[in-house]
Amino acid sequence: MEEFKLTTPIAFIVFNRPDTTKKVFESIRQAKPKQLFIIADGARNNKSGEEQKCLETRAITEHIDWDCKVLRNYASNNLGCRNRVTSGLDWVFNNVSEAIILEDDCLPHPTFFRYCQELLLKYKNDDKVMMVSGNNVLTDYEHRESSYYFSNYAHIWGWATWERVWKNYDVEMADWNQNNSDNFFSQHLSNKTAIEFWRTLINDVYNSKIDTWDIQLQYYFWKQNGLTAIPSKNLVVNLGFGLEATNTAGSGGLYEKMKLSSINFPLVHPKFLKPNIEADTFENKLYHKFGYKEKIRRYLLKIGIKV
């Protein structure tokens, strides 16, 4: 069997975590991408010692010992999660048509890269598929029919997408007030609790109460009825929980306990290009089986918001 070679560009988003950055960067070094985009935010003025941590984090990415074109986009001041990730990926997709995206606390299994590359090629021209994710949060749900399934949920702990998708992403959600209705949500969610959960979350992001970018991505996917490819086993774990974390201080509960798995090749593809309702229903219940405040806390921890 011919040895796998990674030709897909990687976008690596870093900030102030040299400890986790070192681990994730080593996985990138082992994968040996031909093109690597480094996106870094700047230190916050009110955080003592953070500038040094940012410099240490950036220095880790200087150790390139393989044939690779490296492009760097470093913020001179702190832009925050929302603006730094958005502006960074705007820059990436102004240069390439597809990319694998990793944040500095998302550690992938080596097979994650080949999985992403193969699905980026397979669904390159299929507008229905909008994301390839390496993240499967359903630790108690086993999917056996294929190597991955399709979901209505966007998972961003290790993912990949195309310029054709990102070019229409709107961080401002300019049309939110036009779509803020039960009719819109009922197309994607099955009960009132879930609808109110997401309505509250999107409202808070729209009104700048939460500094993030990925809730906007989920909203965009729902508008387009877009699908995410989810691996049958989890290919990426999040290292970002703990007191030193910027946005995930404290315990991440079940998300912190997720195990890193591999995926087998050749991939077995789903027979139908449609969401796995059973898996999505299970995920929906996972978010909403606790009290309302606990649901919000758990979801925000999952996506990296400090609570």
In tens, the pLDDT along 260-288 reads 999 999 999 999 999 999 999 888 777 65
| Band of residue 246 on the pLDDT scale cut at 50, 70, 90 | very low
- Note the pLDDT of residue 142: 79
How far apart are the C-alpha atoms of 307 and 301, rounded to whole Å?
7
SS3 185: helix
Q: How many CB atoms lie within 10 A of CB 163?
A: 15
In tens, the pLDDT along 51-97 reads 999 999 999 999 999 999 999 999 999 999 999 999 999 999 999 99
| H or E element that contains 113 | helix 111-122
- Note the pLDDT of residue 256: 65
SS3 126: coil
Q: Which two tokens stand for residue 134?
A: 């390496």
How far apart are the C-alpha atoms of 276 and 262, rounded to whole Å?
21
The DSSP code for 11 is E
Domains delineated in the chain:
10-303 (3.90.550.10)
pTM above 0.75? yes
How far apart are the C-alpha atoms of 5 and 146, rounded to whole Å?
24
| Residue 46: partners with Cβ closer than 8 Å, 6 or more residues away | none
Q: Are the CB atoms for 247 and 305 separated by under 8 Å?
A: yes
